[in-house]
Structure 1
Amino acid sequence: MSYCINPLCSRRHNPEYTENCLACGNPLLIDGRIRLLRPLRSLDEDPSTYTDVFEVEDVEPSWGTKSRIRVMKVLRWSDPKLVRLVQRESLILQTLYHPGVPKCGVDDYFTFKLKDGRLVLHCLVMEKVEGENLQQWLKSYGMIPQKVALDWLAQLVDILESVHRSGFFHRDIKPENIIYQPDGQLALVDFGASRQITTTYLAKVGASGVNKRTRFSSGYEVTVVRTIRFSPLEQLNGQALPQSDFYALGRTFVNLLTGISLLELPIDQNTGRLIWRDKAPQIDKPLADLLDDMMAPFPGQRPQTTQVILERLQRLPFKLKLNRFLVSNIFKCFLAGSLIATINASYKQINFALSAYYFNQAGHYMNEPKIAKKYYELALIYNPKDDEIYNNLAVACQVTQDLNCAIENYQKAFKLKPNAWELHYNLGNFYDEQGQYDQAEQQYKLSIKYGKNQPMNAVNNLSRLKNIQEKYSEAAQLALEGLKGTSDPVWQAALYKNLGWARFKQQRYAEAKDYLQKSVKLDSRRVDAHCLLAKTQEALGELDNARTHWEVCLISNNSGLPEISEWKQQILQRIFPTN
């Protein structure tokens, strides 16, 4: 059976292999390649739903005699705002390279004019993700255990990390938009509500009164996309932020962990937070704390980046074990026995527990380094021989620009663990940020030495420094050696970028282009690789291709490297000369 694409058609289903709709006469083969097999959403839904969604057979000519089963969205009417949403979704799906996001090609967005010429339909074809959404999964299997929650949360935050680093946020995370695939992996779908993170957009939101702890007032118009129960207050007011995705993700997991509709869960009238923990007895406190932080009422109270959430997830296994041990009868008996057996032993255990507590508290404030610094200092009072605490305190001091504090604590960490390659790398990164490249180079070399050539972050940064110092042959040699020692695509992308940079400066443009294209293919989110590839293609006279990569370079907002700022400024001065 084939379906008619015309949303106004009175009888949309047709016999198989029919060329034109029997009711309205419109072609059933769309754009010379697409045949609509079945609707994935009822065609009789509320007319406010602005898209039809079909499973389709795609016989794209470039695939030869083969065809693929895919999914196609069809915009029911050509409202300019809705057209922009579909076009934005097409751009996002082309930009993102993640197994948990549907794939979409550059030719998969097109328009189709109906036979009578009165209506132009905007169409978007994408990969079909097999499996069932988590709302269906919940109905079939009930609330999820903690082990599954940890696995799924890590997968989804990894997908979001890719989305956010590419300069977008989703705005409609909920169980229905998450697919559980047959191999156990999750996929995030329906990017029709997604938004680009740009300075213009954030300016609109800022001008509308968004603040960490204030209510929202009216201001610039920002398209409102909301799902009751899963959308935070700022999004209900049309002022969504990247942290709004964390709120929706936290609420999604409360729904999955309790098996209860969010509308049925009470809200604390004093704090505005959901009261849900008693409905999920299988969940330990550390995981519940993380979810509550993600669902904090105000954006500034939530983790500020996906990286902060990922770091907390990495520490969760230890915290969960520690929490279960601390609340167990075994621990209580052990504590009592230790107190009776020896005051000294108990004193050490208490100090260790207090130090661990303050260390973990600091982890809650990774996005507020001044608070984290105070907790690390308290942790050191009870355990002054822990090099990891000194290292983390030095990083917190570095972020708050307390440079003397950073140096002092790095030195204390080295006294406890002088040959730790991680410490040498962090200190090198500190000098790198201060522009003290000679000292940074020395520390990166020590990191590589003590890490036995394994620390690719140090190899990469050292190669980058050589480019900055205009020592291009040394930069290229370091990158080539690093490529021999790693199969990680992220590090390979970084090293190919440095190698391409060196070849560009040596005016070996063809080699530079090859290496930079490899970098972009391995990690499309590398802003510096796009910027350099644009410069290289300009040098080769490939201006149309260069323009595409300049656009990525300019719109991306996910790197603070000084050379990227310089390259962006150069192109902006060419586009908007001051004279």
Structure 2
Amino acid sequence: MKILKWIDDPKIVELLRRESIILQTLDHPGIPKSNREDYFTFTLKDNILVMHCLVMQKFEGEDLRQWIKTYRRISQDLALDWLSQLINILDFIHRNEYFHRDIKPDNIIHQPDGKIALIDFGGAREISRTFLAKLSTNGGTSTGTSMGYEITAVRSAYYSPLEQIHGQAVPQSDFYALGRTFVYLITGIPLSNIKSDEKTGKLLWRDKAGHIDKPLADLIDDLMAPFPGQRPQNTQIILQRIQKLPLQSKIQRITRSKTFVISALITSISLLVFIFFRSILPAIANSFVSQGEKLEIANDFQSSKNLFNLATSIHTPSKFTVSKFYLEQASRNISNLQLAKKYYQLAIKYNERDLGAYNSLAIVCRQLREVNCAIDAYQQILKLKPDWEVYYRLGSFYDDEGKEELAQQQYQIAIKLNNNAVVAINNLSRLKNLKEDYNQAAQLALEGLSKTKDPKIQATLYKNLGWARLMQRKYTEAEKYLQKAIDLDNERIDAICLLSQTQEALGKMDETKLWWEACMIAKSNIPEVYIWRQQLVDRLINNSKRTN
């Protein structure tokens, strides 16, 4: 049971309440369980002192700081095992739109069965548009207060990155803390005793961990990169790199051994050629993929636009260096993507069956708006592995390009291969609405709703169903479904715009005005939202002309 000592500080009380909610939300064997009734208060000393308490699951074992004191530094194999476990836990946390903000050895438990658990979610935050809005206006104070917004900064000495110390933590801040945690685990030396490079600020730790192979050391250094945009951008990228580490380490050890050098000198030319094409080429391909991934990582952690916005938000004399970095980074994005594309193409040249390289190439080509390049990459993937997800991604690409007929074909194939592919069902329902096939759109939306419990996906399916009913002039049904969509996801601007049209059709003019205002001023990149807005503007102009 965690008992709050600082009961007079409302910010600390709020952190404890948030921790309770997060632990109720996250159901994972590596995260403490806690129920709704486990958060409570009780009063002491004649109603003068109110104590806040939170009961949660206790993991048997010891935290990693205690573990290292007992057993000393960890091996390469154990480092890979623990890193894989922790990244899988973080992947679950981030996919549920939270990030931890306080990863360090003290908050990681090694259980008797070898399983790892992550604890202390008192500093965790929800990743939401509201939080990002607060972050973009954050002045960098200890509480992150600016323009009416407030973000409580959570920091741990030697483990928190610069942006988190300034109250501007992002999901990639967790990766920095994780990288520093592993420097401590594989060296067994407190970070306070490890020197840093005076120019770059990077920890000079590798000479204290000679048992760690270069590929793993490179990953750890990438996790600890000074700026969020230089770190891996999500947990999936890290997991992919971890999967490649054993092979990369094996190749490195072989190529450095004396036996390999002597054998290479005395082996015939034909055998060298055979080894080269059967063993070395995949390693070269992996190297090119790694270079491409690093260039993508060197891009923005969201987009060039966000980099410019972030640079502007922190452009003060005291932070000029950080601001300048983001501006320069944004200007490099296009050239980085072009170079990443070349690396992926080289990787494919050396390993024509590398699905990861084809997929990365498709993503880069989409970002560069090179349509034929992206289509070719997806088609090559389908030749090697005709999976429903690939058909869905190709359909999504055609959808973005406005090629609706081709998009429908790919979605239908994806659904045929996997009738539980709700994302494909949802996108196909939307296209049916655009094609004015409202019966089919409604049928698909209902089918999708029967197959998912994800609130975000349910929201978009209810939106599609409400849209179909609106166009069928079933206004009462449309109102009900669109309201459900907004209740599940109040940031669905397309549902808000459709509800405004529905309320107008029902003659509820007071509600209509409010919903139209929300539709017009909210940010949205959905094509149909722009159409509905323009239709309203045209209607208002025509009414004004008739009045005059």
Structure 2 length normalisation: TM-score? 0.69
**Which segment is superposed worse, 364-373 or 80-89?**
364-373
* Counterpart residue number, 1:392: 360
Q: Does the CA-based 8 Å contact 1:133-1:179 persist in structure 2?
A: yes
* Counterpart residue number, 2:40: 110
Of residues 151, 162, 165, the one that matches 1:236 is 165
TM-fit CA distance, 1:227: 0.9
TM-fit CA distance, 1:501: 3.9
Of residues 62, 66, 73, the one that matches 1:143 is 73
Of residues 387, 395, 406, the one that matches 1:428 is 395
* Counterpart residue number, 1:321: 250
Matched, 1:194 2:130: no
* Counterpart residue number, 1:463: 425
Q: Does the CA-based 8 Å contact 2:87-2:239 persist in structure 1?
A: yes
Matched, 1:302 2:302: no
Matched, 1:290 2:219: yes
Letter in 2 for 1:77: I
Q: Does the CA-based 8 Å contact 1:267-1:274 persist in structure 2?
A: yes
Percent of residue pairs identical: 45
Shift of the 577–129 alpha-carbon distance from structure 1 to 2, 3 Å rule, reads same
Shift of the 552–225 alpha-carbon distance from structure 1 to 2, 3 Å rule, reads farther
Distance (Å, rounded) in 1 between the aligned partners of 2:410 and 2:111: 45
Q: Does the CA-based 8 Å contact 2:225-2:231 persist in structure 1?
A: yes
* Residue aligned with 2:236, SS: helix
Letter in 2 for 1:566: D
* Residue aligned with 1:577, SS: helix
Matched, 1:270 2:270: no
Distance (Å, rounded) in 2 between the aligned partners of 1:568 and 1:388: 39
TM-fit CA distance, 1:162: 2.1
**Which segment is superposed worse, 246-255 or 344-353?**
344-353
* Counterpart residue number, 2:406: 439
Q: What are the residue-to-residue correspondences of 1:291-440 with 2, within 5 Å? A: 291-337=220-266, 340=269, 354-367=284-297, 368=299, 370=337, 371-380=339-348, 389-411=357-379, 417=384, 424=391, 426-440=393-407
5+ long unaligned stretches in structure 1:
1-70, 211-215, 479-497, 503-511, 521-525, 556-563
TM-fit CA distance, 1:302: 0.9
| Cα deviation 1:408-450 (Å, max 9, x = unaligned) | 4445666x7596777545433422443544323434565688x
TM-fit CA distance, 1:465: 4.0
5+ long unaligned stretches in structure 2:
300-335, 466-475, 501-510, 518-548
Of residues 80, 83, 86, the one that matches 2:16 is 86
Q: What are the residue-to-residue correspondences of 1:421-570 with 2, within 5 Å? A: 424=391, 426-443=393-410, 453=417, 459-468=421-430, 469=432, 501=448, 516=452, 519-520=453-454, 527-529=456-458, 553-554=489-490, 566-567=494-495
Distance (Å, rounded) in 2 between the aligned partners of 1:550 and 1:577: 11
TM-fit CA distance, 1:252: 0.8
Letter in 2 for 1:158: N
Distance (Å, rounded) in 2 between the aligned partners of 1:529 and 1:176: 39
Distance (Å, rounded) in 2 between the aligned partners of 1:575 and 1:192: 41
Higher helix share: 2
Distance (Å, rounded) in 2 between the aligned partners of 1:131 and 1:566: 50
Q: Does the CA-based 8 Å contact 2:264-2:272 persist in structure 1?
A: no
TM-fit CA distance, 1:568: 6.5
Shift of the 87–385 alpha-carbon distance from structure 1 to 2, 3 Å rule, reads closer
| Cα deviation 1:481-532 (Å, max 9, x = unaligned) | xxxxxxxxxxxxxxxxx66645xxxxxxxxx5xx65xx25xxxxx5223666
* Residue aligned with 1:126, SS: coil
Of residues 61, 80, 84, the one that matches 1:131 is 61
* Counterpart residue number, 2:515: 577
Distance (Å, rounded) in 2 between the aligned partners of 1:436 and 1:258: 54
**Which segment is superposed worse, 116-125 or 195-204?**
195-204
Letter in 1 for 2:398: Y
* Residue aligned with 1:123, SS: strand
| Cα deviation 1:355-413 (Å, max 9, x = unaligned) | 44212322334444714213113335556786764443223212333223212444566
Q: Does the CA-based 8 Å contact 2:107-2:118 persist in structure 1?
A: yes
Shift of the 417–164 alpha-carbon distance from structure 1 to 2, 3 Å rule, reads closer
Q: Does the CA-based 8 Å contact 1:338-1:346 persist in structure 2?
A: no
TM-fit CA distance, 1:117: 1.8
TM-fit CA distance, 1:236: 1.9
Q: Does the CA-based 8 Å contact 2:463-2:495 persist in structure 1?
A: no
Distance (Å, rounded) in 1 between the aligned partners of 2:111 and 2:442: 42
Distance (Å, rounded) in 1 between the aligned partners of 2:427 and 2:464: 19
| Cα deviation 1:256-294 (Å, max 9, x = unaligned) | 111110111111122211111222222111111111111
Structure 1 length normalisation: TM-score? 0.66
Shift of the 227–441 alpha-carbon distance from structure 1 to 2, 3 Å rule, reads same
Distance (Å, rounded) in 2 between the aligned partners of 1:441 and 1:422: 14
| Cα deviation 1:133-164 (Å, max 9, x = unaligned) | 11122122221112222221122112212222
Shift of the 311–353 alpha-carbon distance from structure 1 to 2, 3 Å rule, reads closer
Letter in 1 for 2:375: I
TM-fit CA distance, 1:198: 3.0
Letter in 2 for 1:300: G
Q: CA-atom RMSD, angstroms?
A: 4.0
Q: Does the CA-based 8 Å contact 2:175-2:223 persist in structure 1?
A: yes
* Counterpart residue number, 2:104: 174
* Residue aligned with 1:324, SS: helix
Higher strand share: 1
Distance (Å, rounded) in 2 between the aligned partners of 1:570 and 1:120: 48
* Residue aligned with 2:55, SS: strand
TM-fit CA distance, 1:228: 0.6
Q: Does the CA-based 8 Å contact 1:101-1:189 persist in structure 2?
A: yes
Distance (Å, rounded) in 2 between the aligned partners of 1:100 and 1:270: 38
Distance (Å, rounded) in 2 between the aligned partners of 1:280 and 1:338: 34
TM-fit CA distance, 1:300: 1.3
Size of the alignment, in residue pairs? 447
TM-fit CA distance, 1:309: 1.5
